[in-house]
Structure 1
Amino acid sequence: MKRPVLILVALLALTPHAFGDWNIHVAPNGSIQGDGSIQKPFQNLTQARNAIRAKRKSSEIASDEAIVVQVGPGVYRLDQSFELTAIDSGTSAAPVIYRSTQPGTAQIHGGESLQPSAFVPVTNPNALKRLSSSAQDQVRVCEVQNLNGDVPDLNDSFRAVPAGPWLFINGQPQELARWPNANADNAGWTSFTKAIDSGMPQPDATDEKLRKLHPGSFQFDDPRPASWDLSQGVWLRGYWTHDWSDEVIRVATYDQQAKVIGLAKPHSYGINNGTWGRSERRFYAVNVFEELDAPGEWYLDRKNKQLYLIPPADFSNASVVLATLQSPLVKMTDAHHIHLEGLSIQYGHSDAISIRNANHIQITNCEIANHARSAISLHGSDNIVSSCHVYNLGTSGISVKGGDRNTLTPGNNLVVNNHIHHYGKFQRTYAPGISLQGCGQIARNNCIHDAPHNAVHYGGNDHLFERNEVYRVVMETGDSGAFYSGRDWTSQGNVIRHNYIHDLGESDSTHTNTMGVYLDDCDSGDTIEGNVFYRAGRAIMIGGGRDNPVLNNLVIDCPIGIHLDSRGMTWEQWNNPKYSSWQLERKAEALNYLNPPWSDRYPWLAEIMNDSPREPLHNPMRGNVFINVSKEVCHFDAKVRKLLKKLDIQNNIVLNTPGSATTTVKATDIDGFTNWDASQKDTLPAEFNTNFSPATLFHSHSGWQKKFPSIASIPFDEIGLIPNP
Structure 2
Amino acid sequence: MIANRIKMKLKSIIVVLMLSIQVFGQVNQTLHSELGKSFYVSLNGNDTNPGTKDKPVASFEVARDLIRHYKTTNPYPDKGFTVWVSGGEYEFSESFALNENDSGQPGRPVIWRAVEGEKVTLSGGIQIPQNQFKKVTNKNIKARFRKEVASKIYQVNLKELGITDYGRHQQYGHALSVCPAPLELFYNEEAMTLARYPNTGYIQIGNVIDGGSTPRSGDYSERGAVFEYSDERHEVWAGQKDIWFQGTFKNGYADDKILVESINAENKRVKLAYPHMYGVGNKKPYNHYVALNILDEIDMPGEWYVDREAGILYFYPPSNLKNSKVVVSMLEDPVVSIEGSSHIVFRGFTVEVGRGMGIYLERGQNNLIAGCTVRNIGTSGIFMGQGAKQTVPYITHEHYEGVPVSRRIGNLQGHIYSNTTWDRKAGKNHKILSCDVYNTGSGGIYLSGGNKRDLIPGNNVVENCKVHDYNRRNKFLWSGINIDGVGNRIAHCEIYNSNFQAIYAHGNEHIFEYNHIHHVTLHADDVSAWYIGRDPSDRGHILRYNYFHHCGNADMGNNGIYCDDSSSGITVIGNVFYKMNTVGGILYTNTGWDLTMKNNIIIEPHSYSVVLSQHYYTWYKGRAPIAFGKGKVFEKRLFKDINIQEPPYSDRYPQLSNFMNEIIPGEKWEGMNARRNVFSTNIIFGGSKNPIKISKGESGIFENINNYQTTKDPGFVNMAEENFMLKEDAEVYKKLKGFKPVPFDKMGLYRDEFRKDN
**Alpha-carbon separation, structure 2, partners of 1:100 and 1:211:** 51
- For 1:412, the equivalent position in structure 2 comes to 459
Change (3 A) 1:240 1:574: farther
Task: Kindly indicate whether residue 439 of structure 2 is the aligned counterpart of residue 395 of structure 1.
Answer: no
- For 2:635, the equivalent position in structure 1 comes to 585
- For 1:439, the equivalent position in structure 2 comes to 486
**Alpha-carbon separation, structure 2, partners of 1:483 and 1:715:** 20
Verify the 8 A CA contact 2:305 2:314 in the aligned structure 1: yes
Report the Cα offset of residue 712 of structure 1: 4.2
- For 1:663, the equivalent position in structure 2 comes to none
- For 1:8, the equivalent position in structure 2 comes to none
Change (3 A) 1:388 1:120: same
- For 1:629, the equivalent position in structure 2 comes to 687
Residue 38 of structure 2: which of 15, 19, 23 is its match? 23
**Alpha-carbon separation, structure 2, partners of 1:311 and 1:601:** 59
Report the Cα offset of residue 548 of structure 1: 1.3
Verify the 8 A CA contact 1:193 1:279 in the aligned structure 2: no
- For 2:121, the equivalent position in structure 1 comes to 107
- For 2:264, the equivalent position in structure 1 comes to 255
Verify the 8 A CA contact 2:589 2:613 in the aligned structure 1: no
Q: Which amino acid aligns with 1:357?
A: R
Report the Cα offset of residue 692 of structure 1: 5.5
1:55-454 matches, within 5 Å, as: 55-57=70-72, 59-62=73-76, 64=78, 66-102=80-116, 105-145=119-159, 146-155=161-170, 160-161=178-179, 163-182=181-200, 188-200=201-213, 212-272=221-281, 278-378=284-384, 379-454=426-501
**Alpha-carbon separation, structure 2, partners of 1:175 and 1:335:** 37
Relative to structure 2, which stretch is displaced further, 309-318 or 154-163?
Answer: 154-163
- For 2:658, the equivalent position in structure 1 comes to 607
Verify the 8 A CA contact 1:574 1:584 in the aligned structure 2: no
Verify the 8 A CA contact 2:84 2:112 in the aligned structure 1: yes
Residue 36 of structure 1: which of 31, 51, 64 is its match? 51
Relative to structure 2, which stretch is displaced further, 124-133 or 346-355?
Answer: 124-133
**Alpha-carbon separation, structure 1, partners of 2:690 and 2:267:** 45
Residue 718 of structure 1: which of 721, 746, 751 is its match? 746
Task: Classify the secondary structure of the residue corresponding to 1:130.
Answer: coil
- For 1:457, the equivalent position in structure 2 comes to 504
Q: Which amino acid aligns with 2:671?
A: P
Relative to structure 2, which stretch is displaced further, 282-291 or 556-565?
Answer: 556-565
Change (3 A) 1:602 1:240: same
Report the Cα offset of residue 498 of structure 1: 1.0
Report the Cα offset of residue 586 of structure 1: 1.8
Aligned residues: 666
**Alpha-carbon separation, structure 1, partners of 2:206 and 2:434:** 45
**Alpha-carbon separation, structure 2, partners of 1:483 and 1:685:** 26
- For 2:562, the equivalent position in structure 1 comes to 518
Q: Which amino acid aligns with 2:463?
A: V
Relative to structure 2, which stretch is displaced further, 66-75 or 112-121?
Answer: 112-121
Report the Cα offset of residue 607 of structure 1: 2.5
Verify the 8 A CA contact 2:591 2:673 in the aligned structure 1: yes
Change (3 A) 1:707 1:210: closer
Verify the 8 A CA contact 2:716 2:723 in the aligned structure 1: no
Change (3 A) 1:17 1:430: farther
- For 2:407, the equivalent position in structure 1 comes to none
**Alpha-carbon separation, structure 1, partners of 2:190 and 2:344:** 30
Report the Cα offset of residue 624 of structure 1: 1.9
Change (3 A) 1:363 1:629: same
Q: Which amino acid aligns with 1:390?
A: V
C-alpha distance after superposition, 1:455-490 (max 9, x if no partner): 111111110000000011112211101111100011
Task: Classify the secondary structure of the residue corresponding to 1:48.
Answer: helix
Task: Classify the secondary structure of the residue corresponding to 1:54.
Answer: helix
Q: Which amino acid aligns with 1:534?
A: Y
Q: Which amino acid aligns with 1:648?
A: E
TM, length-normalised to structure 2? 0.83
TM, length-normalised to structure 1? 0.87
Change (3 A) 1:201 1:154: closer
**Alpha-carbon separation, structure 1, partners of 2:75 and 2:379:** 37
Verify the 8 A CA contact 2:715 2:726 in the aligned structure 1: no
- For 2:517, the equivalent position in structure 1 comes to 470
Change (3 A) 1:686 1:405: closer
C-alpha distance after superposition, 1:175-221 (max 9, x if no partner): 00011103xxxxx212135322111369xxxxxx9993511122223
Task: Classify the secondary structure of the residue corresponding to 1:199.
Answer: coil
Report the Cα offset of residue 317 of structure 1: 1.4
Residue 708 of structure 2: which of 650, 653, 673 is its match? 653
Report the Cα offset of residue 635 of structure 1: 2.6
Report the Cα offset of residue 357 of structure 1: 1.1
Task: Kindly indicate whether residue 677 of structure 2 is the aligned counterpart of residue 619 of structure 1.
Answer: yes
**Alpha-carbon separation, structure 1, partners of 2:604 and 2:140:** 56
Verify the 8 A CA contact 2:172 2:179 in the aligned structure 1: no
Task: Kindly indicate whether residue 604 of structure 2 is the aligned counterpart of residue 528 of structure 1.
Answer: no
- For 2:645, the equivalent position in structure 1 comes to 594
Report the Cα offset of residue 71 of structure 1: 0.8
C-alpha distance after superposition, 1:381-415 (max 9, x if no partner): 01011011111100111112111112211100011
Change (3 A) 1:15 1:419: farther
* Structure 2: runs of 5 or more not aligned: 1-26, 385-425, 662-668, 754-758
Verify the 8 A CA contact 1:488 1:582 in the aligned structure 2: no
**Alpha-carbon separation, structure 1, partners of 2:629 and 2:239:** 38
**Alpha-carbon separation, structure 2, partners of 1:258 and 1:374:** 41
Task: Give the alignment's Cα RMSD to 1 decimal.
Answer: 2.7
Of all paired residues, the percent bearing the same amino acid is: 28
Change (3 A) 1:500 1:582: farther
